[in-house]
Structure 1
Amino acid sequence: MALSTMYTYRSTQFLTHLRNPLLRIAIDYNCRQCSTNSYKKGVVIGVYVDDEGKNIKLTPSAEKINQESNNVIVKALKIGNGFLKKGKSRLFYNANNKYGTIALVGIGKEEIDSNNLDDGVDVKKQNIRDATAIGSRSLMDCGIYDIDVSEMGDSESAAEGAILGTWKFQEYKKKQDPTPKISLFENSEKNEWFCGVAKSTAQNWSRKLAESAANYMTPTLFSNEVQEVLGKQGVNVVVHDKQWAEEKKMGGLLNVAKGSNEPLAFLEINYSGGCKNQKPIVLVGKGVTFDSGGISIKPSLSMGEMRADMMGAANVVAAISAIAELKVPINVIGLTPLCENLPSSNALKPGDVIVAMNGKSIQVDNTDAEGRLILADALCYAATFEPKVTLDLATLTGAMMVAIGGAATGVFSKTDNVWNDVKSAGYYTGDRMWRFPLWSYYSNLIKGYTGFDLDNIGKGKGGGACTAAAFLKEFAPPGEWVHMDIAGVMKTDGKDSPYISSGMSGKPTRALVQLILDISKKTE
């Protein structure tokens, strides 16, 4: 998993007179002189600021750097009347014996107003992630790739911001930017820092898988990469083929896959970190490595983004990678049905009737509602493990994007307990979660036909995300089950979360890891 970076730097102009002696050590926002700096190591430190960008207070680490640098940071801030807004940075170079360049970033308020907590995320953690991302990228703009990052009161969030914020997809470029080395400035909170590194590195892998061109990320190539990465971590990965799917009578997966010349694959991943008799958590991820819509073909505009229709599967394998890295004492099974959905003379046709693994017949009125067909078989297979909790993730419906945009993952849960756990994990990691209904109203829309058991899109109009969840409910294993529709958060423009650049987001990989961490603590 290569760690690389992308950033478009927007600095705040620091006004100073050209004759000011501090000009030698402070502030070159266009980095014109950074290339002459003999020091190739930088540090990111933070300051607390109020809403107006005033009343600045250095963090303890920033104060330490300031004292080691002959108080130049405070002096420079005084020149600017103590003004530095949240999310903005100032650069100081040749001010410190150890660090050639210092990036000072506004974190926001030290104490968050309790009236502003109802935003679906931990605002304080988000501010730290933003600050470390912005500071690290500003240093990289100056050609500095050896970066120490201050914990700013939360080393886990600091690690996440820096590692997620400096990642860049550049797999197919002839000349690639250097990979940054990100380290913790302080000598404390190593466990929390390591946890943040593991989570964010996993999410970057998920982003890499989702961003990859479909011809470089076929079901076979996806399987090979997962075997290579997880195999090195001691995780057992079995790749099932078409013959196995036929033996299991997986009519959904087989019929969706038959429109493509690329062979299907079904990954069965076993992480055994818990007791032998402990019931596992089963994670199921939709893995359509390219979705044209099949015969019900999609509009050509933005169809290329459907290379990321396997992001549910990417999230599952990435989360298991982090879980293995953290050695979480729990058993986890990952299941990812992988195929392409293409139109051809062999492709599934609208009106065809297929039979899922559990024997239920399905009329396929829309071949672009294929994700639920392959997930139906995967959920049936999940039941064979007698899971404690089953959770599936899928870029399932455009209706989810219509409902809530890119703000949150849509969550469907049969019980309040597991929903509260999901919501809490998302709040912690900055991945908003929003619960949708699983009412019988939606189940009735896909049932009640005379010639077959279920219809893959059902009757009526509207509520497409809820109807899709109701469809999956027909195949979910007994016990706790959660469906997460991640279509809305599949990609980001970088505006909502400055620490995640525009493109495929990899969300909500870290929330999935956090959820499993939380469940493991309850089972200890």
Structure 2
Amino acid sequence: MTSEAFHSFQKSKSFLTDVSARSHQKSPGGKPETRPRTPDPMLGPSFLRPGTRARLPLPLAASAQGQERGSLSPSPPPPRDKSAAPSPPRLLRPGTRARLPLPLASSAQGQERGSLSPSPRIKALRNPRREGAALLSLGGGRKTPAWDPGCGGAFLARPAPPDKGGGEKRRAGEAVLLSPPHLQVSTPAEASMLPPLLAASKPLLLQLLRRSKDVPMAAAAALHAAAAAPAKQGLVLGIYAAEKDASATQFTKAGDAFDRVVSGKLKELLSISGPPLKKGKTRIFHGLHQNFSSVVVVGLGKKGAGVNEQENWNEDKENIRAAIAAGCRQVQDLEFPYVEVDPCGDPQAAAEGAFLGLYEYDEFKQKKKPAIEVQLYGSDGVEAWQKGLIYAQGQNLARTLMEGPANLVTPTRFAAVIEEKLKSVSSNVEVHIRDQAWIEDQEMRSFLSVAKGSEEPPVFLEIHYRGSNDTKEPPLVFVGKGITFDSGGISIKPSSGMDAMRADMGGAATICSAIVTAAQLKVPINLIGLAPLCENLPSGKANKPGDVVRAKNGKTIQIDNTDAEGRLILADALFYAHSFNPRAIVDAATLTGAMDVALGSAATGVFTNSQQLWNQLFEASVVTGDRVWRMPLYEHYTKQVTDAQLADLNNIGKYRSGGACTAAAFLKEFVTSSHWAHLDIAGVMENKDEVPYLRKGMAGRPTRTLVEFVTRLSQDKKSI
């Protein structure tokens, strides 16, 4: 529960107290009226548990003139009937029912959405035997909302059916509380605050209905104001760059509709507020609409730009991602808890931009950026929006794993996180967390030679997702480098920037996150993920330059540089991957600094022996904007790693140049599959400011490209 919601409750709870002025009036006989009363569930320890019923008084103050919003003062409590037994402590949860007096309002016609008045469909209820008694049903799953669902929820009052049990002929009525989708109740204290929180949230209506004719409508109006306190909300709308021969502003479909709602004010303000908006730039306006405290307009560039063959990406999609990210961040800076986002003609790209752009790793910071809930503006493209959300969540999972400090994200912890995530999204999964004894049984000596330098035990993570209807269909196998911290070993790295080596398991993070995402999307394909996980540290047991080890395939390796450890652990994992009769093998690794030098952060370098595999990867990257670039896998580089003095292979090339290519040539010695691709992601491991919709930090790239690649491969059973 947010602090803002709690304060809204504190301000509005006075109207929930038992303050009925009628209880102080005298009856026609001249004696004060005395009524049995029970403790107020909102203010005392009495709660309602699911499935239980209890009588709860909720009379309304008869006088509220001159009171300010949120400041209604309770009247003195009326005398209590001491013979009345107190209600037992009970918890109010969604799905429970309780009898309570609910004042009924008889007028609700002509109200607009969000106007703090009941829907015209709500009827006034009367009961001569029990004034204002009603049934309150807390159930978010009801499908009969009395208010536009876009408002988030409402109270619905309706007549109750006759009692067939021979009791009273008719109950007073039923009030159904439809919970807003963003409200979660997890503790008794939060449950007790549910009704006032709903009343105080985004135009949610407290259904104030008059109990009798002599309750002034002023009281209801004042209570409406006290309960209103709507949370501030932002709106992000897109605008295209004007054509050369057109001076008129070009809104998106949603932007144009909103401008009509505000009678053209948005277009007018844009025209006088400065020059036309450039691509990725924002402009903010306040007070245009009662539902949105602020509206951020973002520049989308040229409309219909399509695929830019020079840049190798879809320019429309990239412009939307960057613009929406900028707009959402501006709303977040205003500390608004909610923002609605214009789909901009591509809801998936808009969702990716919003959720990738707002992500920031702040788990260990006391001062965090304000939480903000993002929703689609309108109802067009809900499925595509949800798909974009899942894509972004997949990349953000990889970012979280890569950012996590190495003393916490150990091989064991990494495997546990992936197991938990995978099993939470699909039942068609299998997770094997292999220990050191298993690794030794598999004779993965190359992998073990790296792991032995650390006290942290190694883990070989093996995950299976069976999404295809044909269980015998050959799987696509992903392999990811999982060095959870890389000091370089005996060939130790410079201390400057070594902290970033907590992300040297980026290959494992991206391939595992891609499989989690594919499972969540229910992609019809069989996938296997393999991640050798360990640390590379110097110690008395660590590899030394000049050591020789024998890999799982029998080839011997001369280790001349202990900082070239990634290829040593991948060698055994790649050979093991062939045991699954794979359709194709794709490995990802933050393998070489040489790749960062060659391509920087513009693209992932791809080395492959398959033209079909390259085509699928390239086409996927054009859609996601997380690009790939093909690198050479010549025999020229193979000769540099096979010319070793002591063994079959050397773990570094003969010459300093072409380091990324010689590393790929080394891995090729452990592959026999005709469809194999090696992705060197060292250059895209981290983002400074190159990708506008990613904040500074670990990038989690190319997770979305891998997911898109898997999706395309599931639809193409012939090429590979």
TM-score w.r.t. length of structure 2: 0.66
Relative to structure 2, which stretch is displaced further, 401-410 or 86-95? 86-95
Deviation at 1:179, TM superposition (A): 3.1
In 1: Cα distance, 2:651 partner to 2:460 partner:
21
Q: Describe the shift of the 1:360–1:55 C-alpha distance in structure 2 as closer, same or farther (beyond 3 A).
A: farther
Q: 1:344 aligns with which of 539, 542, 551?
A: 539
In the other structure, the counterpart of 1:26 is none
Partner SS for 2:413? helix
In the other structure, the counterpart of 1:246 is 440
In the other structure, the counterpart of 1:64 is 257
Any conservation in 1 of the 2:376–2:385 contact (CA below 8 Å)?
yes
In the other structure, the counterpart of 1:127 is 319
In the other structure, the counterpart of 2:450 is 256
Any conservation in 2 of the 1:390–1:477 contact (CA below 8 Å)?
no
Any conservation in 1 of the 2:249–2:267 contact (CA below 8 Å)?
no
In the other structure, the counterpart of 1:267 is 461
Partner SS for 1:100? strand
Kindly indicate which of the two structures has a greater share of residues assigned to helix: 1
1:1-400 equivalence runs, <5 A:
39-50=231-242, 56-80=249-273, 83-112=276-305, 116-233=308-425, 234=427, 235-274=429-468, 275-400=470-595
Any conservation in 2 of the 1:199–1:510 contact (CA below 8 Å)?
yes
Q: Describe the shift of the 1:50–1:354 C-alpha distance in structure 2 as closer, same or farther (beyond 3 A).
A: farther
Any conservation in 2 of the 1:54–1:85 contact (CA below 8 Å)?
no
Bigger radius of gyration among the two = 2
In the alignment, structure 2 segments of 5+ residues that lack a partner are 1-228
In 2: Cα distance, 1:331 partner to 1:113 partner:
32
Q: Deviations over 1:31-90 (max 9, x none)?
A: xxxxxx965122111000159997531111001111212322111012136622211111
TM-score w.r.t. length of structure 1: 0.90
Deviation at 1:186, TM superposition (A): 2.5
Residue 718 of structure 2 corresponds to residue 498 of structure 1: no
2:345 is matched by which residue type in structure 1? G
Deviation at 1:450, TM superposition (A): 5.7
In 1: Cα distance, 2:516 partner to 2:673 partner:
27
Deviation at 1:156, TM superposition (A): 0.7
Q: Describe the shift of the 1:167–1:54 C-alpha distance in structure 2 as closer, same or farther (beyond 3 A).
A: farther
1:203 is matched by which residue type in structure 2? Q
Deviation at 1:178, TM superposition (A): 3.8
Q: Describe the shift of the 1:38–1:368 C-alpha distance in structure 2 as closer, same or farther (beyond 3 A).
A: same
Any conservation in 2 of the 1:51–1:108 contact (CA below 8 Å)?
no
1:83 is matched by which residue type in structure 2? P
Deviation at 1:236, TM superposition (A): 1.7
Q: Deviations over 1:395-448 (max 9, x none)?
A: 000000111111110000102111111111111101111111111111111114
Deviation at 1:120, TM superposition (A): 2.1
Q: 1:404 aligns with which of 599, 610, 633?
A: 599
In 2: Cα distance, 1:386 partner to 1:183 partner:
43
In the other structure, the counterpart of 2:175 is none
Q: Deviations over 1:205-233 (max 9, x none)?
A: 10010011111111011111111111212
Relative to structure 2, which stretch is displaced further, 168-177 or 216-225? 168-177
Deviation at 1:185, TM superposition (A): 1.1
Any conservation in 2 of the 1:39–1:101 contact (CA below 8 Å)?
no
Deviation at 1:334, TM superposition (A): 0.4
2:494 is matched by which residue type in structure 1? P
1:180 is matched by which residue type in structure 2? I
Deviation at 1:505, TM superposition (A): 0.4
Q: 1:509 aligns with which of 696, 703, 712?
A: 703
Partner SS for 1:152? coil
Deviation at 1:113, TM superposition (A): 7.7
In 2: Cα distance, 1:145 partner to 1:132 partner:
17
Partner SS for 1:95? strand
Alpha-carbon RMSD = 1.7
In 2: Cα distance, 1:414 partner to 1:422 partner:
13
Q: 2:609 aligns with which of 414, 417, 424?
A: 414
In 1: Cα distance, 2:296 partner to 2:644 partner:
64
Any conservation in 2 of the 1:54–1:83 contact (CA below 8 Å)?
no
1:462 is matched by which residue type in structure 2? S
1:56 is matched by which residue type in structure 2? T
Q: Describe the shift of the 1:51–1:498 C-alpha distance in structure 2 as closer, same or farther (beyond 3 A).
A: farther
In 2: Cα distance, 1:418 partner to 1:54 partner:
46
Q: Describe the shift of the 1:54–1:225 C-alpha distance in structure 2 as closer, same or farther (beyond 3 A).
A: farther
Partner SS for 1:425? helix
